[in-house]
Chain A
Amino acid sequence: MALLDLKQVTKEFGGLKALDAVSTHIGEGEIVSLIGPNGAGKTTLFNCITGTMPPTSGSIVFDGCELVGSSPHEVAQKGIARTFQHIRLFNEMTVLDNVMVGRDAKGRTGILSGLLRPPWVQLEESRSREKCLEILSLFGERLLPRLEQSPKMLSYANRRRLEIARALAIGPRLLLLDEPTAGMNPHETQGIVDLIRHIREQGYTVLIIEHKMKVVMTLSDRIVVLDHGKTIAEGPPEAIASNPEVIEAYMGGRRGA
């Protein structure tokens, strides 16, 4: 059974159909890429899945559980984590705290226990800290030496990495990455590609929005192509690369018009 199942997902903004009956599925352990020209509805689809913007109609089933109608934090707690197209970090918090926020839903410390500090609170805190350090160590020496810094001090690529680290801290089963390599140079991009592979090996399922074709082609098990809110093609990278409809959507086929 598919981990994530989208059925006839439609999102309308006034008269504009940003998503028009999109149906697709993502299997456990897959890396699926979502591509399409600008304005195709890729980010809107992410927003619908994560509950940020509920779809107008259709159903989104994650692991046998309907997501439409859930608020974003509920979706996150069910095991879907995301990163944003424009980096959204907690700038006035340290790098470590940014990741620790991801552990929030797993924590039990409330107001009273936070005030009275029974021993288990300290234990929970140090466990969650360890878990976060473990996640940060996925990024080698990129983030570990900068635990107490503000994200503002990090390089662009490191901020992207931190966003991924925060998403991983939730302990998700499905990771939604919105243009993880945007604005990165080739070697940083390669680093992210390796990282995503590494993440998949650890049992996560990944859905990526990506524009860099080299990344998409080398990384994906399957590609879903959106154009004007509709799925125009779906399949393995080789099939997509030679699909005439996709080429038209990207290159434009209006010379004769």
Chain B
Amino acid sequence: MPGSVRKLLAHSPGLAILAGLVVAPLLIVNQYHLQVLIFIGIYAILVLSLNLLNGYVGLLSIGHAAFYGIGAYASAKMMIDLKMPFILAMPLAALTAGLFGYLIAKPTLRLSGIYMTLATLGFNIIFFLILQNWMGFTNGPLGIMDIPAPEIFGWQVDSRQDYYYLILGLVLLTLASMHRLIHCRFGRALKSIREDELAAEATGVHTTRYKIQAFVIAAFFAGLAGSYYAHFIKFISPDSFYIYESFTLLAMLAFGGQGNLVGPVVGAAVLLLIPEIFRFLQEYRMFIYGGVLVVMMLVRRQGLLGGREYSLRLKRFDVQQAQVFSRGDKFLPVDEE
């Protein structure tokens, strides 16, 4: 088989899924269904970014919604007040979130374990209070309305379909970035910190620097999702970025399984779909939501897809024959003295 065909076949399951996702909005007529898919995309990015911290570095951050909110507010303010084009506002908003991530990470990552976790929680609460009370800048609980729709090089993002393709692109960008980051020196260092910080440090890994970098990247992608959210819903208020949101993200991550790139996406999708599917039960649907989470933690604590890594290539057709060694752990001859 020629190399290019082999390569294509190896990628075929992934390509099929991608093709399905591209064609999906043409087949889905119901706007509400598209909207659900778009939200799955937003949350997939958020949970993927949280996964970098919780799943790869082993830092428990429970204030991630703050960075989501920073991205949303920064993007809205930049477009409304500074009249920036969307193509500039979105990356700048993400960078702003990353900058705040740095400012939080720098002092708090010296703390370890639960103290660092509490610091992230505190930051989320403070951020919420600022949003609520800084009337002049954030318009307080009334929020910011009439956020302009995105326009990218003349492409006016307008219909649900357009929004769908935009978020699909962002999710793929996030997935590809995370995949590349994890499969290089950077990702290996992050995993070593998760596995044994002391040993990583003794092996020459600058653990503090890596932790700060991971925190900034996670904040960056959360900010990206926030920016998209602001321009999609066109209205943002502090309520969307309260700690409740952070816990939702944590639940999705725990449900889907952390430490790989598939689990977070699946977790976000399933936990968003459950309340939608059981909408006919009205308020009782949250029983199902909670019940599923409880059962999951009892039956499969590592989450649906946790506890192992998955290749994004979905290797099916290029499984290589494992190398066979004839000599195993043979006894070495013992020197008799």
A interface residues (Cβ-Cβ under 8 A, vs B): 50, 52, 71-73, 76-77, 81-82, 84, 88-93, 97, 100-105, 107, 109-111, 114-115, 117, 121, 124-125, 141-142, 144-145, 155, 158, 166-167, 169-170, 186-187, 190-191
Contact = CB atoms under 8 A, between A and B. Distances in A.
B251 interface: no
A97 B185 contact: no
Nearest to B330: A141
B57 to A, nearest CB: 13
Interface stretch (B64-72, B84-92, B189-197, B266-274): B189-197
Residue of B189, B202, B206 contacting most chain A CB atoms (<10 Å): B202
Majority-rule SS of A interface residues: helix
A197 to B, nearest CB: 13
Contact of B177 (A50, A82, A115): A115
A101 B195 CA distance: 12
A105 B205 contact: yes
Contact of A155 (B188, B199, B327, B329): B329
Interface in B298-336: 323, 325, 327-335
Contact of A145 (B203, B204, B328, B333): B328
Contact of B201 (A71, A100, A111): A71
B213 interface: yes
Interface centre among A88, A107, A187 (most CB of B within 10 A): A88
Q: Which of B187, B192, B196 has the most CB of A within 10 A?
A: B192
Contacts of A145: 323, 325, 328
A215 to B, nearest CB: 13
Nearest to A102: B203
B203 A101 contact: yes
B234 interface: no
Nearest to B200: A101
Query: What are the 7 tightest A-B residue pairs by CB atom distance, in nearest-first order?
Result: A105-B204, A76-B204, A90-B195, A88-B199, A145-B325, A114-B184, A109-B185
Nearest to B192: A101
A73 B199 contact: no
B6 interface: no
Nearest to B196: A88
A170 B200 CA distance: 11
Contact of A170 (B187, B204, B259): B204
B195 A92 contact: yes
Contacts of A50: 202
Contacts of A103: 185
Contacts of A167: 203
Contacts of B327: 141
Nearest to B207: A73
26 contacts: A52-B201, A52-B202, A71-B201, A73-B207, A81-B202, A91-B195, A92-B191, A92-B194, A93-B188, A93-B191, A93-B195, A101-B189, A101-B200, A103-B185, A104-B205, A109-B185, A111-B213, A114-B184, A114-B185, A114-B186, A114-B187, A142-B329, A155-B329, A187-B332, A187-B333, A190-B335
Contacts of B181: 111, 114-115
A114 B52 CA distance: 15
Contact of B203 (A52, A104, A110): A104
